[in-house]
Amino acid sequence: MAGPPTFDAEFRARFRDLLEWRRDVRKFRRDPLPDGTLERLLQLACLAPSVGLSEPWRFVVVREAARRDKIKSCFKACNAAALNGQAGDRASLYARLKLEGLDDAPCHLAVFADRSTTQGHGLGRLTMPEMIEYSAVLAMHTLWLVARAEGIGVGWLSILEPTAVTTILDTPPDWTFIGYFCIGYPVEECDAPALQREGWESRRPPPDTVFYR
């Protein structure tokens, strides 16, 4: 064993590039990921931290066309309701946004968090049971970053009704739906979020989010 690694300035600069060029991807090429790629990404995702080492993440790879179609229908209904809630100019801008990559992304992944797991023996969950969901979010974020490091894009879709997704994918009732992810090679790379480029919202100065007590 070589002992603990150290990370030099070059690595840290590249890691910053990775964070700056990670995107929430909506436009995918249709070519599939090479065999074994998704499995490798999922394995890396499992290096994420989890409350009490509970590893509550549950990854559902959605392959069947009929289920994918139902997810698409669910998105369409939820997105129509969301559009309906936007007023005036915002509504027309919202209608122009591309908010999912369901048709083109070769890989569909639904992520859940298992509140019923006994792994971890409840440690860290008594006052904050939502740590189970947060742990699954950490795993998915890990997958997102390692995917980007391989040039693979990830898009997080939250415009879905969680109870409908549970039904469509026939998952246990104890599993909290975290998100539906489209994964594949992106059509374009960019260092600014699509929502910023399209005039929906812009980033604020980081110090605005920091407070002192």
Least distance (Å) from its own copies to the CB of residue 104? 19
Output the smallest distance, CB 58 to its own copies, in A. 6
Name the DSSP letter for residue 75.
H
CB 116, min distance to its own copies, A: 14
DSSP H or E segment with residue 20: helix 9-21
| DSSP at 57 | E
Residue placing its CB nearer to its own copies in the complex, 31 or 189: 189
Residue 103 C-beta: closest distance to its own copies, Å:
18
Which pairs from 86-95 meet CB under 8 Å and 24+ separation? 93/198, 93/199, 93/200, 94/200
The length of the chain, given as a count of residues: 213
* CA–CA separation, 202 and 72 (whole Å): 28
The CA distances from residue 54 to 85, 115, 125, 140, in Å, are: 38, 10, 10, 15
